[in-house]
Amino acid sequence: MVVLKLSTTTERTNTVIEAENICLWYGNFKALKNINMTVERNSIVSLIGPSGCGKSTLLRCFNRMNDFVDNAKITGTINLNGENLYRKNVNVAEIRRKTGMVFQKPNPFPASIRKNVSWGPSINGYRGNLNKLVEKSLRSAALWDEVKDKLDESGYSLSGGQQQRLCIARAIAMQPEVILMDEPCSALDPISTKKIEDLIVSLKANYTIMIVTHNMQQAHRISDVTAFMYQGELIESGPTKKMFESPDNPLTFDYVNGRFG
């Protein structure tokens, strides 16, 4: 079993993810074109851009979800803590443990709230107290007080916003280093969206978070860094305040100001 180790170089530079010259094809269609980016530890990075620009495809590269697409081909290098995620004989299950994924639509398992959180760690050989892990994960996802008396009820019994927080708790239970979120609020009402946004900001203390969003206000509110993509290219990235107020690229300026998209 290959275990990803924290390199001394990464520790010194505080870089968690580094992508170099990433290109990805779906068959003959080139969906990503020479993507280069770094992600710093304990930061929130928002990927923005019009539909079909490659945001979700790029996000899935960081935990190798594109492996499930038969005609997908990727070139380039992605390092997590200095270790290449695409090197030969890498343990892909370990990569996915370290890079938890939360999807656009809440997708709890058809099982109890408790089982939703404990299932992943239990099948991966977790040797600690599962009940304590469930409580800790639900507390981290700001859901414990709402569900502590009904842990054996179905995850489907929860509201949409609660289900999404349950999915976040499920990811947290695997003790990841990075949490990837693909439009986690797009199916939620404004009140639930606010709770998820507050949760994401609070999680930054312990995790690095990358989020795909079409909501410019959301990116502005919660992210430290914003990266703008267009037609498979990373056009520009930088501190969120600068990206929204004085981006370097005119295309970025037009997008964040609603002139297209």
For residue range 105-146, list pLDDT tens digits in order. Answer: 999 999 999 999 999 999 988 889 999 999 999 999 999 999
Query: How does pLDDT run across 180-222, given as a tens digit for each residue?
Result: 999 999 989 999 999 999 999 999 999 999 999 999 999 999 9
Q: Is residue 166 part of a domain?
A: yes
pTM equals: 0.91
Q: What mean pLDDT, rounded, does the chain reach?
A: 93
Joined tokens for residue 185: 């609020």
* 178-182 and 15-26 beta bridge pairing: unpaired
pLDDT at 124: 87
Query: How does pLDDT run across 161-190, given as a tens digit for each residue?
Result: 999 999 999 999 999 999 999 999 998 999
Mean pLDDT of 33-42: 97
Q: Is residue 10 predicted with pLDDT exceeding 80?
A: no
pLDDT at 260: 85
Q: Is residue 243 part of a domain?
A: yes
Q: Is residue 4 predicted with pLDDT exceeding 70?
A: no
Binned at pLDDT 50, 70 and 90, residue 6 comes out as very low
Binned at pLDDT 50, 70 and 90, residue 12 comes out as very low
- What lies within 8 Å, CB to CB, of 17 at 6+ separation is 37, 38, 39, 62, 78, 79, 80, 178, 208, 210
Q: Is residue 173 part of a domain?
A: yes
Mean pLDDT of 64-81: 94
Q: Is residue 3 part of a domain?
A: no
pLDDT at 132: 96
Q: Is residue 261 part of a domain?
A: no
Q: Is residue 118 part of a domain?
A: yes
| CATH number of the CATH domain containing 158 | 3.40.50.300
Name the nearest CA neighbour of 76 among 115, 20, 28.
20
**How many structural domains compose the chain?**
1
Domain span at residue 228 reads: 8-256
Q: Is residue 174 part of a domain?
A: yes
Q: Is residue 2 part of a domain?
A: no
Mean pLDDT of 48-63: 96
225 or 13, which is more confident: 225
CB 47 within 8 A of CB 212: yes
Mean pLDDT of 235-241: 97
